[in-house]
Structure 1
Amino acid sequence: MTPFLRWCHSLSNTLAHTWRRSLQLRVVVSTLSLSLIVIVILGVVLTSQITDRLLEAKITAATEEMDRARGVVEDQLAGVDGSAALKDQLESAASSLTSRNQSGGQASGSAGTFDPALIVEQDGPRDPVYAGPADQIPENLREFVHNGQIAYQFATVSDPEGYSGPALIIGSPTASSISGLELYLVFPLASEDRSLSLVRSTLLIGGAVLLVLLAAISLLVARQVVLPIRSASRIAVRFADGRLKERMPVRGEDDMARLAMSFNEMAESLSKQITQLEEFGNLQKRFTSDVSHELRTPLTTVRMAADLIHDGSESLDPILRRSSELLVAELDRFEGLLADLLEISRHDAGVAELASEQLDVRMCARAAVSTVRHLARESGTELIVDMPDDPVIADVDPRRVERVLRNLLANAIDHGEGKPILLRLRADDDALAFIVRDSGVGLRPGEEKLVFNRFWRSDPSRVRRSGGTGLGLAISVEDANLHDGKLEAWGEPGVGACFRLTLPRVRGKKLVSSPLPLKPTTAKFVRTPSNADIVAEEVGEVTSSIPTPHDTESRTGSQGGERS
Structure 2
Amino acid sequence: MTAWRPWPRGLRGRLLLAFVLTTVAGAAATGAASAASANTSLVEATQQRLTKTLTDQLGALTAQLDYPPGQEALDRLRSALGPNALVTYKTLRSADGAAPGLATEALRTEVSLRRQLVTQRLTVNGVPWLVIGTPVMITAPDGSRTPSGIEVYSAHDLTSVQQQTAALTQSAALAAAATIPLSVLLAILAAGGVLRPVRKLRDTARRLARGDLGARTTPKGADELAELTVTVNEMAESVQTSMTAMEHMENNAKRFAADVSHELRTPLSTLTAVVEVLGTTADGMEPDARESAQLAIAETHRLVQLVEDLMEISRFDAGTAQLRLEEVDVADAVRRSLRARSWLGEVELEVPDGIRLRADRRRFDVVVANLVGNALRHGEKPVQVHGFASPTTVRIEVTDHGTGLSEEVLPHVFDRFYKADTARVRTPGSGLGLAIARENARAHGGDLHASNTPGRGARFVLELPRNLEDA
1:67 match: secondary structure: helix
TM-score (norm 1): 0.61
Alignment correspondent of 1:243: 212
> 5+ residue gaps in structure 2?
113-117, 138-148
Amino acid at match of 1:448: L
1:403 aligns with 2:366: yes
Aligned ranges for residues 321-332 of structure 1 at < 5 Å?
326=295, 328-332=297-301
Alignment correspondent of 1:52: 40
Deviations 1:435-491 (A, max 9, x none): 53453484352x3333322222232432666x3111101112212322443434457
CA distance in structure 2 between the partners assigned to 1:116 and 1:321 by the alignment: 135
Q: Is the 8 A contact 1:484 1:510 kept in 2?
A: no
Deviations 1:120-154 (A, max 9, x none): 9xx9xxxx9976xx2x5683546667888766444
Alignment correspondent of 2:460: 500
After TM superposition, give the deviation of residue 414 of structure 1 in Å. Answer: 3.1
Aligned ranges for residues 315-464 of structure 1 at < 5 Å?
317=285, 326=295, 328-355=297-324, 361-363=330-332, 365-367=334-336, 369-370=338-339, 374=343, 387=350, 397=360, 399-416=362-379, 418=380, 421=383, 423=385, 432=395, 434-440=397-403, 442-443=405-406, 445=408, 447-462=409-424
Q: Pick from 438, 448, 456: which aligns with 1:487?
A: 448
Amino acid at match of 2:167: S
Amino acid at match of 1:479: N
Alignment correspondent of 1:550: none
Alignment correspondent of 2:199: 230
Amino acid at match of 1:485: G
> 5+ residue gaps in structure 1?
1-5, 99-114, 158-163, 378-382, 512-564
Deviations 1:280-315 (A, max 9, x none): 33333333333434444444444445545555x389
After TM superposition, give the deviation of residue 202 of structure 1 in Å. Answer: 4.5
CA distance in structure 1 between the partners assigned to 2:223 and 2:108 by the alignment: 77
After TM superposition, give the deviation of residue 236 of structure 1 in Å. Answer: 2.8
Alignment correspondent of 2:439: 478
Q: Pick from 200, 203, 225: which aligns with 2:172?
A: 203
Aligned ranges for residues 171-320 of structure 1 at < 5 Å?
184-191=154-161, 193-198=163-168, 200-208=169-177, 216=185, 219-308=188-277, 310=279, 313=281, 317=285
1:26 aligns with 2:14: yes
CA distance in structure 2 between the partners assigned to 1:376 and 1:45 by the alignment: 94
Deviations 1:360-407 (A, max 9, x none): 645555555556665996xxxxx556x576866666555434433432
Alignment correspondent of 2:141: none
Q: 1:201 to 1:483 in 2, by over 3 A?
A: farther
Alignment correspondent of 1:65: 53
CA distance in structure 1 between the partners assigned to 2:12 and 2:262 by the alignment: 59
After TM superposition, give the deviation of residue 347 of structure 1 in Å. Answer: 0.9
CA distance in structure 1 between the partners assigned to 2:295 and 2:108 by the alignment: 130
CA distance in structure 2 between the partners assigned to 1:423 and 1:191 by the alignment: 95
After TM superposition, give the deviation of residue 186 of structure 1 in Å. Answer: 2.7
Q: 1:140 to 1:118 in 2, by over 3 A?
A: closer
Deviations 1:1-21 (A, max 9, x none): xxxxx9xx89x57x87xx43x
Bigger share in helix: 2
Q: Is the 8 A contact 2:418 2:431 kept in 1?
A: yes
1:351 match: secondary structure: coil
1:245 match: secondary structure: coil
Q: Is the 8 A contact 1:235 1:247 kept in 2?
A: yes
Amino acid at match of 1:279: H
CA distance in structure 2 between the partners assigned to 1:357 and 1:42 by the alignment: 83
CA distance in structure 2 between the partners assigned to 1:217 and 1:347 by the alignment: 59
After TM superposition, give the deviation of residue 41 of structure 1 in Å. Answer: 4.8
Q: Is the 8 A contact 1:423 1:437 kept in 2?
A: no
CA distance in structure 2 between the partners assigned to 1:227 and 1:156 by the alignment: 60
After TM superposition, give the deviation of residue 429 of structure 1 in Å. Answer: 7.0
CA distance in structure 2 between the partners assigned to 1:289 and 1:464 by the alignment: 23
1:457 match: secondary structure: coil
CA distance in structure 2 between the partners assigned to 1:70 and 1:508 by the alignment: 113
CA distance in structure 1 between the partners assigned to 2:172 and 2:342 by the alignment: 90
1:347 match: secondary structure: helix
Q: Is the 8 A contact 2:103 2:153 kept in 1?
A: no
Q: Is the 8 A contact 2:102 2:131 kept in 1?
A: no
Deviates more, 1:283-292 or 1:355-364: 355-364
1:266 match: secondary structure: helix
Amino acid at match of 2:317: D
Q: Is the 8 A contact 2:358 2:468 kept in 1?
A: no
Percent of aligned pairs with the same residue? 27
Alignment correspondent of 2:142: none
TM-score (norm 2): 0.71
CA distance in structure 2 between the partners assigned to 1:289 and 1:47 by the alignment: 86
CA distance in structure 1 between the partners assigned to 2:406 and 2:14 by the alignment: 45
CA distance in structure 2 between the partners assigned to 1:361 and 1:315 by the alignment: 41
